Amino acid sequence: MHIDLGGKSALVTGAARGIGRAIAESLAGAGANVLLADVDGDALDETRSAIEHAGGIAATFAGDLTRTDASQQCIETLLRRYGSIDIVVNNAGYTWDSVIQKTTDEQFQSMLDIHVIAPFRLLRAASEFIRSQTKREREEGEIVTRKVVNITSISGTDGNAGQAGYASGKAAVIGLTKTLAKEWGRYNVTVNAVGFGLIDTRLIQPMDNPETEITIGHRHVHVGMQAATREAALSHIPLGRLGTPQDAANAVFFFCSPLSDYITGEVLICGGGVHF
């Protein structure tokens, strides 16, 4: 079955690499016009170039979405470039792990800022367009279904030792998802979440890999997993392998497509059957 998203305008946050890039490429490959948002401008440009080389349409918004004004600027960029908001994928995020006695206030707050406050601000910024546009469409006898997909994790649904901040942020976005599904059903917007298990990105690479140090503002944060922990976790995945970014993107794409037009307020776990 071919899914045609031609004419749709999509925002994907955390789109420079990994899962976000795979999501953006999938949407663009189906014909959507995609705004790529990420803090890493150079990587964003590489992703945009790859999408355009494949025949897709993409633009970029380089900025830190945890800044108070960034969400509004991002939505304004989307509307200025494409004139509509049809799909929003809140994918941006990272891990900053510690057991609770070693977790600082800054560390905990940073996890909430990126995983739930940034999505909240983006959706709030989008709400004026969505409400007014839906009213206009109904007056013209047109029904348009819009899509929001928030990203959570099995850390948010099941908890995970060493991830008090990350798990709290990912649990909170589930509450946001279910609430917006109830508020925005009247505007014909489906709001769902995809929870990832162990997807093979830099967030779960062995910690001796140089890519596991990332720069967020003035901070240098070590992500990744201990090699032994990674191997042990792999043994608990019923499907017997780590997920790929494309596996993750496929689950998100389902919620962005017409196949899910009568599904809202749900959390789909894409984790190969694993539970912590």
CA dist 19 and 253 (Å) reads 12
In the chain, which ranges are continuous DSSP H helix?
A: 18-29, 41-53, 70-82, 105-112, 118-139, 154-158, 164-184, 227-234, 245-256
- Say if CB 224 and CB 209 are below 8 A apart: yes
Task: Please list the active-site residues.
Answer: 166
Could you give the CA distance from residue 188 to residue 197 in angstroms, rounded to a whole number? 29
Q: Are the beta carbons of 239 and 273 closer than 8 angstroms?
A: yes
154 neighbors 276 (Cβ within 8 angstroms) = yes
Start-to-end CA distance of the chain, whole Å, equals 34
